[in-house]
A and B are shown apart, each in its own frame.
Chain A
Amino acid sequence: MHIVVCIKQVPETTDIGWDSKTGTLMREGAGGILNPNDKNALEAALQLKEKHGGTVTALSMGPPQAEDALRETLSMGVDKAILLSDEQFAGADTLSTSCALRLALKKIARFDLVLCGKESSDAATAQVGPQLAELLNLPQLTYATEVSIKSNSVRIKQKLEDGFRILETSFPALITVERELNQPRIPPMDSIMEAYRDKEVQVLRAEDLGGDKEHFGLKGSPTQSRKVYSKKVKKGKVTILQGEPDEIARELIQTLKHKGLLRGLNVT
């Protein structure tokens, strides 16, 4: 069995600065980490491999420094790591990202399962999994909190707002996983050393993928951001209620009554 796990490098902090003068994101200082949710996908793939045999490949599209995230997947125990990196990929939205990942998977040719995180911590769209599944014409099983494999089929427990469902499909398929699926392993120091010293991250450029250049990066992205700004949460002036606790309580309850917010107690 061959499992491909799609992983993304994300900024370490959620408090990315915004330079209002130049109108750009200030990514400096924010280191890149492996998207936490993708570690659950990796863990699931490694556990399936341990149980059923096979190989695991980690695949990512990103800038050159995303290699670090792929090294981390190698230290966790994946067999192979592939980075799609090219200026042409820059500025990709989810559809354009899925398009590049699809071409890479077509090139990899033989796989039984594709695993993704449910969502990335920066974009948090949860779209790349389903869009990739569509472009590859694979059935998709989303929001998995359990995954199991039987001869030629895969079964998941799907988490929904109001409960869960058990879904089943045949290979090949794409699964997106929830954080509660598992506890990702922490690689031992020597695996980390080995991943950085001895292992290779294969880098593919746009021309290696073939495909229509018009589909890559910003050019291939149907959505564009028109404006990015920081949201001001200021509503005007606050009225401070003062006095002893019971005086404050009385004043607040009176105010709520006057505003019609206490049903049955409305005085106006």
Chain B
Amino acid sequence: MSPENLGEYRGLWVFIEQRDSKPARVSLELLGKGRTLADKLGADVTAIIIGEGVSGIAEEMIYYGADRVIIADDPIAKDYRTEVYTDIIVEQMLKEKPEILLIGATCIGRDLAPRVSGRLNTGCTADCTELDLDTQMRLIVATKPFFGRNLMADIICPFHRPQMVTVRPGVMGLKTLDRERKGQLISIDVDLKEEDIKVKVLDTVRSASDGVSLEEADKVVAGGMGVGGAEGFEMLKELADLLEAKVGATSLPVDASWISKDYQIGQTGKTIRPRLYIGCGVSGAIQHSAGMINSELIVAINIDPKADIFNFADYGIIGDVNQIVPALIKELRS
């Protein structure tokens, strides 16, 4: 939509991704962030949920910050399919004309958002790490790292509506839910026929999760090349267990097959914002720090006093991980 009258567009929408009626964490993060932004604009927050048997989670969206929840609960929407979800969202958008649509930059979010933006002929800024507001112009200012994250760009969408953004999971943090909040639940009819849908889902296989959810971890012990090998990561695991932390890694140990890609933090890995990050033998390259710089307390253990990580760590230990980590384990055990 490239409207003549931008002023007609009001309200901030958040797409709620779900699996088996469990909302994706990033969608809840966006409700919290969306609430803050909408308050500055004096606008409503609308959550839109699509799926089968999803009505039960609508109330929770209000607790997380929504004023209204639009629910499309229909068997045809059981599995995520681009066409189905795009049709439903676009129909509602054309009817209600919101000015902003936020979507989590997950696999599904990044499949859906550009399709919706293409149909509405509007801009979509992908994979953002910060959202701000130009309140006067009612513009979302979306910050996106690019070119290997040495550079950041602030992107706006001044003359098209809705302004669309996909946001990386983990960067916004989760607000506590407020069970006192009240809001409006709106169920809509889905008028789509299976025979018109071009894509079929023949099978869905969920990989058995080993419980690694780095993005949500409260504490992370990350290892870099200085850890020295796969055994070094065993030692970090021991420390992490004592601290009730998760293990993470830079990209190089992943490339060296010391640890799997699921643990990688950074530009091409995960974004974390734990209360405590301990980097062991991590140099602090920008591609790594891009994924952990929002950690509250950063501790660095590195043998090289000139390592970059000391530029942004809160506490630094200049020493060998093979001595410091065992000492920490011993101390925690005692």
Binding site for B on A (CB under 8 A): 11, 13-16, 18, 25, 93-95, 98, 122-135, 139-143, 155, 159-170, 173, 221-231, 233-235, 238-241, 245-246, 248-250, 252-253, 255-256, 259, 261-263
Contact = CB atoms under 8 A, between A and B. Distances in A.
A267 to B, nearest CB: 14
Interface stretch (B31-39, B63-71, B107-115): B107-115
B118 A134 contact: yes
8 contacts: A132-B118, A139-B82, A140-B82, A163-B207, A230-B152, A235-B293, A248-B319, A252-B299
A231 B152 contact: yes
A261 B115 contact: no
A130 B107 CA distance: 12
Interface residues of B, number: 86
Given A16-B147, A162-B207, A225 B108 contact: no
A130 B331 CA distance: 53
Given A140-B115, A261-B219, A231 B156 contact: no
Contacts of A155: 202
A159 B202 contact: no
Nearest to B86: A134
B21 interface: no
Nearest to B311: A234
Contacts of A16: 147-148, 150-151
**Most A C-beta atoms less than 10 A away, residue of B160, B243, B331:** B331
Given A16-B151, A165-B205, A261-B219, A253 B328 contact: yes
B331 A166 contact: no
B127 A223 contact: no
Interface of B: 2, 19, 79, 82-83, 86, 106-108, 110-111, 113-115, 117-119, 121-127, 141, 145-160, 198-207, 209, 219, 243-244, 275-276, 284, 286-287, 289-290, 293, 297-300, 308, 310-319, 323-324, 326-328, 330-332
Contacts of A126: 110, 114, 126-127
A240 B316 contact: yes
A128 B315 CA distance: 43
Contact of A165 (B150, B201, B317): B201
B186 to A, nearest CB: 26
Contact of A233 (B83, B157, B311): B311
A127 B114 CA distance: 5
Contact of A166 (B19, B124, B203, B315): B203
Contact of A230 (B114, B150, B206): B150
B198 A139 contact: yes
A163 B5 CA distance: 44
Contacts of A226: 141, 154-156
B315 A252 contact: yes
A223 B326 CA distance: 51
* Chain B binding surface SS class: mixed
B130 to A, nearest CB: 10
B115 A238 contact: no
B204 A163 contact: yes
B286 A161 contact: no
B316 A239 contact: yes
Contacts of B117: 95, 127, 131, 222
A103 to B, nearest CB: 14
A131 B315 contact: no
Contact of B317 (A15, A228, A252): A252
A130 B82 contact: yes
A245 B323 contact: yes
A131 B164 CA distance: 13
**Most A C-beta atoms less than 10 A away, residue of B157, B200, B326:** B200
B153 A227 contact: yes
Q: Which 8 A-B pairs have the closest CB atoms?
A: A14-B148, A222-B123, A134-B118, A223-B123, A125-B126, A249-B327, A130-B114, A127-B114
Contacts of A142: 82, 107, 111
Nearest to A123: B146
A170 B19 CA distance: 26
A188 to B, nearest CB: 28
A231 B151 contact: yes
Contacts of A162: 19, 206-207, 209
Contacts of B201: 165-167
Contacts of B308: 233
Contacts of A143: 107, 111
